[in-house]
Amino acid sequence: MQLERIGVVRSPYLTKFGVPRQPGLVTALTSRIILEPEHRETLAGLGLVVSTPVCVLWGFSHNVKENDRWSKTVRPPILGGTQRMGVFATRSSFRPNNLALSVMRVTSVTDDSLELSGGDMVDGTPVYSIFPCACDLPDVQGANSGWADDAGWPMLHDVIIPEQLVKYIPAAKREGIRQVLMQDPRPAYTRYGQEEREFWTALDRNIIWFTISEHVMYVTRIFEMDQVQIDKLKETGNIPL
- Is 201 inside any structural domain? yes
Q: Cα 20–24–27 angle (5° rounding)?
A: 90
Q: Is the pTM of this model over 0.85?
A: no
Burial class of residue 223 in the structure, from the number of CB atoms within 10 Å of its CB (0-12 exposed, 13-18 middle, 19+ buried): middle
The DSSP secondary-structure symbol of 120 reads -
**Mean predicted confidence (pLDDT) in 211-222:** 93
Band of the pLDDT at 2, cuts 50, 70, 90? Answer: confident
Same domain, 90 and 21: yes
pLDDT band at 212 (very low <50, low <70, confident <90, very high): very high
More confident residue, 98 or 66: 98
pLDDT at 153 over 90: no
Considering the domain architecture, whether residues 161 and 220 belong to the same structural domain is answered as yes
Cα(224)–Cα(116) distance, integer angstroms? 24
Return the pLDDT at 181: 95
| Total number of domains in the chain | 2
For residues 119 and 209, membership in a common domain is answered with: no
Name, in order, each residue with C-beta under 8 angstroms of 160's C-beta and a sequence gap of 6 or more: 216, 217, 218, 219
For residue 146, being part of any structural domain is answered with no
What is the number of H-type helices and E-type strands within the chain? 5, 12
Q: Are 95 and 34 members of one domain? A: yes
Which of 59-73, 86-100, 106-120 is the least confident region?
A: 59-73
State whether 125 and 161 are in the same domain.
no
Domain boundary among 81, 116, 139: 139
Q: In this structure, are 199 and 227 located in the same domain? A: yes
Residue 115 lies in a domain: yes
Q: Does residue 224 surpass a pLDDT of 80?
A: yes
- Assigned domain for 149 exists: no
pLDDT for the residue 45? 56
Q: Is 36 part of any domain? A: yes
Contact 116, 34 (CB under 8 A): no
195 and 135 both lie in a single domain: no
CA of residue 224 relative to chain centroid, distance: 20
Chain center to CA of 170? 19
Strands in 5-112 per DSSP E = 7-10, 30-35, 53-59, 73-74, 85-86, 99-109
Q: What is the pLDDT of residues 23-58, one digit of tens each?
A: 888 999 999 999 999 988 877 656 777 788 889 999
3-state percent helix, strand, coil for the chain, nearest multiple of 5: 25, 30, 45
What percent of the chain is predicted at pLDDT more than 70? Answer: 85
**Which CATH number belongs to the domain containing residue 204 in this structure?**
3.30.2310
Domain with 198, as residue range(s), is 154-236
Final residue in a domain of this structure, among 112, 139, 166: 139
